[in-house]
């Protein structure tokens, strides 16, 4: 049993973790993101989810039940059983084994419970389709979520064990067997679910749960897995931080370590992009070279296009499609302006030229060029796909 002191320490660590995540999110979700993306996305999501209960969207007709099973397979990956240990704990907590062990046991138990809550939320998400389109009952939904969360526990336990012993480039090779084994178990789960065989379903759930417990037993019962626990918690924390920071436009990020090269891959000889040398082209050339050498900016641009395009496809009413497109347009304008300011306007060597005519023309041209693909994409989804709806309802 977890002692009161261990429980108090665990809650303190969980609260610290939440505060850390809140600060990271707060540093990313500034007023521009909140106004142009978060608030509209929440409002639109509520309306869309309500419309799913009233009437199933047309695109669900082209999502057979096996596809739903497949989609949930991709949601199995990510996450570990956390113990909330810190590097400094090796000094104090290892001298108080009972306190440390109680905290670890509480953290692992909380990880089990949190995944059950995640499964419940995912079940709530697909409930309109589950009941109204697939005509399945609550019993089948509970069994489906039980299969999913039990396999998620098993994958988390395996990944946590391999993370401590297999690192670097070898981790790429260990992922394939785990993926294959998980796919086989998920396929057996689907077959058992299709034949409504209660015993095989319960057997798979119990098997997944017991194996996951056996794999984390040593971490649950011993303090001598401190290095493994610390590695897992730090990896989970870093993955979360990198994901959130990747969404940030204005935040300065620590440069990632990269191998030292004598010359960059792009423009290795500092080739001139424009023959005509003037102020505008000078700013343009500097922006193009810096932005295209760093995949962070390319990935950010593609994320804006991808998220907006996906939202336009899955939002049923035309007026909501237009709203999403308009919100994405303004968000992209803010994003381009932020990147330009970071690379050109805020740079010590170019800051003093920010009021020049060439600076303004260069920024306007970059904004126009980057907006054109966005407009073409939105026009295709909003106009062309609407015309094709009579022939292809999925669109």
Give pLDDT, residue 35.
Answer: 60
How many Cβ atoms are within 10 Å of 131's Cβ, its own excluded? 15
Task: Determine contact, residues 9/99, Cβ cutoff 8 Å.
Answer: yes
CA nearest to 251, candidates 328, 330, 346, 326: 346
Task: Give alpha helix (H) positions in 78-137.
Answer: 89-92, 97-132
- Given a cut of 70, whether residue 346 has pLDDT beyond it is yes
Task: Determine contact, residues 186/69, Cβ cutoff 8 Å.
Answer: yes
* pTM assigned to the model: 0.64
Confidence of residue 249 (pLDDT cuts 50, 70, 90): very low
With DSSP H G I counted as helix, E B as strand and the rest as coil, what are the percentages for the chain, rounded to 5?
75, 0, 25
How many Cβ atoms are within 10 Å of 163's Cβ, its own excluded? 17
CA nearest to 394, candidates 165, 153, 64, 32: 64
Give pLDDT, residue 327.
Answer: 78
The mean pLDDT of the chain is 78
* Domain boundaries defined on the chain: 4-246, 279-388
Mean pLDDT: which of 78-87, 92-101, 138-147, 194-203 is highest? 138-147
Write phi, then psi, for 67 (nearest 5 degrees): -65, -40
* Chain segment 97-135, per-residue pLDDT in tens: 888 888 999 999 999 999 999 999 999 999 999 999 888
Give pLDDT, residue 121.
Answer: 94
Across 64-73, 80-89, 112-121, 353-362, least confident range: 353-362
* Chain segment 204-213, per-residue pLDDT in tens: 999 999 999 9
- Given a cut of 90, whether residue 153 has pLDDT beyond it is yes
Confidence of residue 52 (pLDDT cuts 50, 70, 90): confident
What is the rounded distance in angstroms from the CA atom of residue 201 to the CA atom of residue 249?
46
CA atoms within 13 A on the CB side of 341: 10
What is the rounded distance in angstroms from the CA atom of residue 140 to the CA atom of residue 144?
6
How many Cβ atoms are within 10 Å of 325's Cβ, its own excluded? 21
* Chain segment 20-51, per-residue pLDDT in tens: 877 777 766 665 566 666 777 788 788 888 88
* Chain segment 219-244, per-residue pLDDT in tens: 898 888 888 888 888 877 776 666 65
Q: Burial-class residue 237 by CB neighbours within 10 Å (0-12, 13-18, 19+).
A: middle
């Amino acid at each position: 049993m977890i002692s009161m002191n261990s429980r108090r320490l665990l809650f303190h660590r969980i609260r610290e973790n939440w505060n850390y995540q809140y600060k990271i999110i707060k540093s990313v979700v500034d007023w521009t993101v909140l106004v142009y993306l978060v608030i509209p996305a929440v409002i639109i999501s509520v309306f869309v989810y309500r419309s799913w209960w009233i009437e199933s969207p047309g695109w669900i007709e082209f999502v057979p039940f096996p596809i739903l099973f497949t989609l949930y397979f991709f949601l199995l990956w990510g996450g570990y059983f956390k113990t909330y240990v810190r590097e400094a704990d090796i000094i104090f907590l290892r001298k108080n084994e009972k306190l440390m062990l109680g905290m670890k046991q509480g953290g692992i138990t909380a990880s089990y419970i949190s995944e059950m809550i995640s499964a419940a939320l995912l079940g709530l998400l697909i409930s309109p389709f589950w009941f109204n389109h697939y005509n399945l009952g609550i019993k089948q939904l509970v069994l489906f979520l039980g299969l999913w969360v039990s396999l998620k526990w098993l994958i988390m336990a395996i990944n946590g064990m391999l993370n401590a012993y297999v690192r670097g480039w070898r981790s790429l090779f260990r992922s394939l067997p785990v993926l294959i084994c998980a796919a086989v178990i998920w396929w057996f789960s689907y077959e058992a679910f299709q034949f409504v065989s209660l015993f095989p379903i319960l057997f798979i759930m119990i098997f997944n749960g017991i194996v996951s417990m056996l794999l984390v037993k040593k971490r649950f019962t011993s303090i001598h897995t401190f290095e493994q626990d610390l590695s897992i918690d730090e990896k989970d924390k870093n993955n979360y931080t990198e994901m959130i920071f990747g969404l940030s436009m204005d935040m300065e990020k620590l440069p990632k370590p990269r191998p030292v090269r004598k010359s960059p891959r792009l423009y290795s000889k500092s080739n001139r992009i424009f023959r005509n040398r003037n102020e505008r082209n000078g700013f343009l050339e500097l922006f193009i070279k810096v932005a295209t050498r760093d995949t962070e900016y390319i990935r950010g641009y593609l994320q804006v296009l991808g998220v907006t395009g996906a939202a336009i496809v899955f939002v049923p009413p035309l007026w909501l499609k237009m709203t999403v497109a308009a919100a994405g347009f303004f968000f992209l304008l803010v994003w381009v302006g932020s990147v330009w300011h970071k690379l050109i306007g805020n740079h010590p060597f170019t800051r003093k030229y920010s009021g020049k005519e060439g600076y303004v023309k260069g920024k306007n041209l970059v904004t126009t060029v980057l907006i054109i693909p966005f407009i073409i994409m939105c026009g295709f989804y909003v106009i062309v796909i609407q015309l094709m709806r009579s022939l292809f309802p999925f669109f």
